[in-house]
Amino acid sequence: DTGVSQDPRHKITKRGQNVTFRCDPISEHNRLYWYRQTLGQGPEFLTYFQNEAQLEKSRLLSDRFSAERPKGSFSTLEIQRTEQGDSAMYLCASSLVPWDLGYTFGSGTRLTVV
């Protein structure tokens, strides 16, 4: 297992377009998190899954954002009608609960909305 994989690494899109990102977690990890990181800031929580169930969604996440984790394996994060303010690094992380060993992050997907 090579860790958490995210695809694509970079995405440039025009304002108003929809984009979808994929995250493949470490296979035995049951938790999957999405965070967003803008320049000069720390990662900000968006949502998380335990297996296939989405357990929490940040109030900062507008209705244009949706995430899924079908069958508790990979996850997708979709942003509809992108805005320039959506430009950021989208980070996926996975962990194994109840074993409290911390997260493994992927390298992120950098989104630029023009």
Residues forming the site for another protein (CB under 8 A) = 4, 31, 33, 35, 40-45, 48, 56, 91, 93, 95-108, 110
Residue 58 CB, nearest distance to another protein (Å)?
9
Residue 9 CB, nearest distance to another protein (Å)?
9
Dig out the tokens for 14 from the structure: 């025009």
Residue 81 CB, nearest distance to another protein (Å)?
27
CA 37, distance to chain mean position in Å, is 10
How far apart (Å, rounded) are the C-alpha atoms in residues 82 and 88? 12
Beta bridge partners of 110: 10, 89
